Amino acid sequence: MSSIDSFAGKQCSLGVEYMGAGLGLRFPHIYEILSQKPKINWLEIHICNFINGGLNQQLLYELSEHYPLSFHGVSLNLGGPEPIDVAYLQRLKQLTNELQPKLVSEHACFTSFDGRSYHDLLPVPYTQKSVEHFCRRIEQVQETIGRPILIENLSRYVQYSENEFSEAEFLSQLCQRTGCGLLLDLTNAYVNDKNLGISIDAFIDALPHQFIKEIHLAGFSTHDEWLIDTHSAEIPQEIWNLLELYLDRYHNVSVLIERDNNIPSFQELYNECCHAQSILDKYPS
Amino acid sequence: MTDISRDVDQQKYNQALEKFVSSVNGNTAFDGDFQGNIKPYQINQRMLALNVLRNNFPTVEKILGESVFTSLAQVYGKYYPSTWWDVNIFGDQFAEFLASQINSAKADAYNWALIAEIAQLEYAFIDRYYYPGHDSTPEVLIEFSHFDYEAQQLIKENHPNLVITYNCLDRFQSTANGEKFHSSHWSVDSSQKSKLKIFSASVFRQNFQVVSAFSCSTANL
């Protein structure tokens, strides 16, 4: 089978439905959402915060009765050299089976090295070896949980001299070889453009768009003339503009609003979510 | 590709990551192997321990003040780096670390034993909130032995996330009615009125509010 045939076959297996604009769930808003049940198309949760059990997981079960969910992970350590944490993976499988999230996603990064957890999305070199390394581990995850996952592009402040590919080429290979989908974070791509000079136009053009099933939007901050992907501010106009440019060319991609620091009132985030939906509504589905 | 060349490639890959984390940790210079700016990663690491410990030990921070707490958090982060993927439960040795400050230059500045006890209780709540294996029931109970009443009051006044209620009368009423309490719910050592033998934290989902109920002796009512 040629790589193109394989690519097409993998595409069919993704089967991700369009959900419109969704909201990243954050702790301060859980009880408000559960008590008032506002109209939200879907909620994305940081699954690592819920996977262990305890009260937090009880709340997740309750949320799942009212909203479609997306599981977004930051701890699978797909790029790390140590074996994937099997206990974590088994719990992810269990929750995926029980709550049937619409999407499961992770990052193209490593988070742990030599027994230490960095709790940060650390970049990897884009080489043939790293492609193989990621593919093996993505396949392990997908086989365990029984469905394709989405892989998100990173905001990066560093590039390795070992790089053999661009990030877009790297991500494309992951899709082609494993059938995983892509989560395109437009803010990350924008930050990389401004900080590292990686053209956002070239990056987006080089991605396999049939594999992009979700878009992330967030705000950022500025430190010493560097844009830092802090998710700490409202989504700036240039990011909304990027979304419109993207949707001009590609349709039917679910969009998520993220805020992780300086978390505002629920209403403020809800308004951003509604704004994203109003943009999506301008384009044919 | 042979197995040997695969191994060599894997080694190169691992070495590239190792160089990167070594730069993040400040152990080696950020040099020609990379282009860009390592500082955002270094700042993240410095802030991580402080932010998580601040979240998990709000009463301890209130007592020590921002400056002392920040210094201790950064030392703790350096010597007890996170080794598990779940950042929420970072700080499992923070109480012991605080207790050991009795040997530090600030030995006489604070009641470290009391502060360590508060840290232990605050961590018990975190542990209960996130830890695997707890039953999915509406009520969560925490057992906590040898807990100081003064520490309990400080948490009651300072912890932003716990609503503390005293439910002794309910407990006694139930006992009078012949209902048997499980030992994890209720126990008072009448000979040590200032000490609680069991701490019971109840979390009621239906109230959409985290409620922590301290069992207490009648002397504390």
Per-residue pLDDT of chain A (285 residues; tens, 9 = 90+): 333 333 333 444 577 889 999 999 987 888 889 989 999 999 999 998 888 776 778 889 999 999 999 999 999 999 999 999 999 999 999 999 999 999 999 999 999 999 999 999 999 999 999 999 999 999 999 999 999 999 999 999 999 999 999 999 999 999 999 999 999 999 999 999 999 999 999 999 999 999 999 999 999 999 889 999 988 899 999 999 999 999 999 988 999 999 988 889 999 999 999 999 999 999 977
For residue A114, give how far its alpha carbon lies from the nearest alpha carbon of chain B (Å).
9
CATH number for the domain harbouring residue A219: 3.20.20.150
Three-class DSSP category at B6: helix
**Which of A209, A82, A213 is closest to A147 using CA atoms?**
A213
pLDDT of residue A88: 93
Does residue A88 belong to any structural domain of this protein? yes
Beta-bridge partners for A110: A122
Q: For chain B, report the end-to-end CA distance as a whole number of angstroms.
A: 75
Distance CA B38, CA A159 (A): 10
Distance CA A189, CA A193 (A): 6
**Which of A193, A282, A222 is closest to A246 using CA atoms?**
A282
pLDDT of residue A215: 98
Q: How many CB pairs under 8 A join A and B?
A: 142
Query: In the numeric block, which tokens belong to residue B67?
Result: 């400056």
Does residue A213 belong to any structural domain of this protein? yes
Most B CBs within 10 Å, among A52, A99, A170, A196, to test the B interface: A52
Helix A128-145 / helix A86-99 crossing angle, nearest 10 deg: 50
Does residue A73 belong to any structural domain of this protein? yes
For residue A161, give how far its alpha carbon lies from the nearest alpha carbon of chain B (Å).
5
Distant-in-sequence, close-in-space partners of B154: CB < 8 Å, separation ≥ 6: B59, B62, B63, B118
Most B CBs within 10 Å, among A119, A170, A225, A263, to test the B interface: A119
Count: domains in chain A: 1
Q: Identify the closest residue of chain A to B11 by CA–CA distance.
A: A81
Helix B112-130 / helix A54-64 crossing angle, nearest 10 deg: 30
Q: Is pLDDT at B74 greater than 80 in this prediction?
A: yes
- Inter-chain CB proximity B21 and A113 less than 8 Å: yes
Three-class DSSP category at B3: helix
Q: Which residues of B touch A125 (CB under 8 A)?
A: 13, 16
Q: Is pLDDT at B214 greater than 60 in this prediction?
A: no
Q: b/e string for A99-128 if b means 16 or more Cβ within 10 A?
A: bebbbbbbbbbbbbbeeebbbbbbbbbbbe
pLDDT of residue A76: 95
Does residue A143 belong to any structural domain of this protein? yes
For residue A132, give how far its alpha carbon lies from the nearest alpha carbon of chain B (Å).
10
Strands B195-196 and B147-148: antiparallel
**Residue A138 sits in which domain range?**
3-280
Does residue A285 belong to any structural domain of this protein? no
Helix A128-145 / helix B3-24 crossing angle, nearest 10 deg: 90
Minimal Cβ distance to A119: which of B38, B48, B131: B48
> Which single residue is written with the structure tokens 């009125």?
B193
Does residue A158 belong to any structural domain of this protein? yes
Reported as a single tens digit per residue, the pLDDT across B18-32 is 999 999 998 888 888
Q: What share of chain A is helix, strand, coil (3-state, %, to 5)?
A: 45, 20, 35
Round the average pLDDT of chain B to a whole number and report it. 70
Query: Looking at this predicted complex, what is its ipTM?
Result: 0.92
Minimal Cβ distance to B84: which of A117, A124, A127: A117
Q: Is pLDDT at B138 greater than 80 in this prediction?
A: no
A207 backbone dihedrals φ, ψ, rounded to 5°: -80, 150
The DSSP-derived string for B8-70 is HHHHHHHHHHHHHHHHHTTSS---TTEEE--HHHHHHHHHHHHHHHHHH-HHHHHHH-HHHHH
By the CB < 8 Å criterion, does A188 face chain B? no
Distance CA B133, CA B153 (A): 30
pLDDT of residue A13: 55
Minimal Cβ distance to A55: which of B85, B133, B203: B203
Identify the band that residue B127 occupies on the pLDDT scale cut at 50, 70 and 90: confident
Q: Is pLDDT at B165 greater than 80 in this prediction?
A: no
Distance CA A264, CA A167 (A): 32
Q: Is pLDDT at B148 greater than 90 in this prediction?
A: no
Reported as a single tens digit per residue, the pLDDT across B81-102 is 999 888 888 999 999 999 999 9
By the CB < 8 Å criterion, does A34 face chain B? yes
Reported as a single tens digit per residue, the pLDDT across A52-66 is 776 778 889 999 999
Q: Identify the closest residue of chain A to B211 by CA–CA distance.
A: A55
pLDDT of residue A261: 83
Q: Is pLDDT at B167 greater than 70 in this prediction?
A: no
Q: Greater confidence, B8 or B15?
A: B15
CB atoms within 10 A of CB A34: 16
